[in-house]
Chain A
Amino acid sequence: AQSVTQLGSHVSVSEGALVLLRCNYSSSVPPYLFWYVQYPNQGLQLLLKYTSAATLVKGINGFEAEFKKSETSFHLTKPSAHMSDAAEYFCAVSDNTGRRALTFGSGTRLQVQP
């Protein structure tokens, strides 16, 4: 069974500071990995996805993530936080069975302080 662990349920940074949200996965086969963002009272929106084409993946809003197979990690980063980045972020791994369902981490709420 696949699983995703997100370290830190809450992360607080100052505006302009580096954002680092951690994600580790377990999978018996090469995974498809995703980061989604959820703004208050909204659905989930895709930030970026890893599909084995490149280990460094760039997404929307200046976010990027690096796939490290040796560390089974897919951490999300942004060089400079903006107030509008405040949201909840979910890391997910795609099911390698026929159903293609996502297994989510428990989420990390990002606060950006002025």
Chain B
Amino acid sequence: NAGVTQTPKFRVLKTGQSMTLLCAQDMNHEYMYWYRQDPGMGLRLIHYSVGEGTTAKGEVPDGYNVSRLKKQNFLLGLESAAPSQTSVYFCASSNRGGNTEAFFGQGTRLTVV
């Protein structure tokens, strides 16, 4: 059982380039999330989705876009990368219910130079 899979695992971008991070889950979860992790700041929510075809902004959405065309996939896009977007990005998924755990992918380490 793969759980949550993120691709790619590492990427170096030049300022102004674009890219898409892919998250795929095989647990039939309704909810999916994108977080970024920066030293000393924990994980912060970028965007989330409560079901196929729906997306919404989290706490730090600027410079990112998302899409959830299929229930199992949640894409995070950077249209014009900036050095401030250098971070580790984590995707997570969960079922309905506030007491259910979120399952995390292995992360994508992105460096923008």
Contact = CB atoms under 8 A, between A and B. Distances in A.
A77 interface: no
| Chain B CB within 10 A, most for which of A46, A100, A103 | A100
Interface of A: 4, 9, 32, 34, 36, 41-46, 49, 51-52, 90, 94-96, 98-107
Interface residues of B, number: 28
B104 A98 contact: no
A100 B106 CA distance: 21
A98 to B, nearest CB: 6
Contact of A32 (B42, B56, B99, B106): B99
A99 B104 contact: no
A95 B98 contact: yes
B40 A106 contact: yes
Interface in B2-44: 4, 31, 33, 35, 40-44
B33 to A, nearest CB: 6
Nearest to B56: A99
A44 B33 contact: no
Contact of A43 (B41, B45, B58, B106): B106
Interface string B42-86: 111100101000001010000000000000000000000000000
B31 A99 contact: yes
Contacts of A100: 31, 50, 94, 96-98, 100
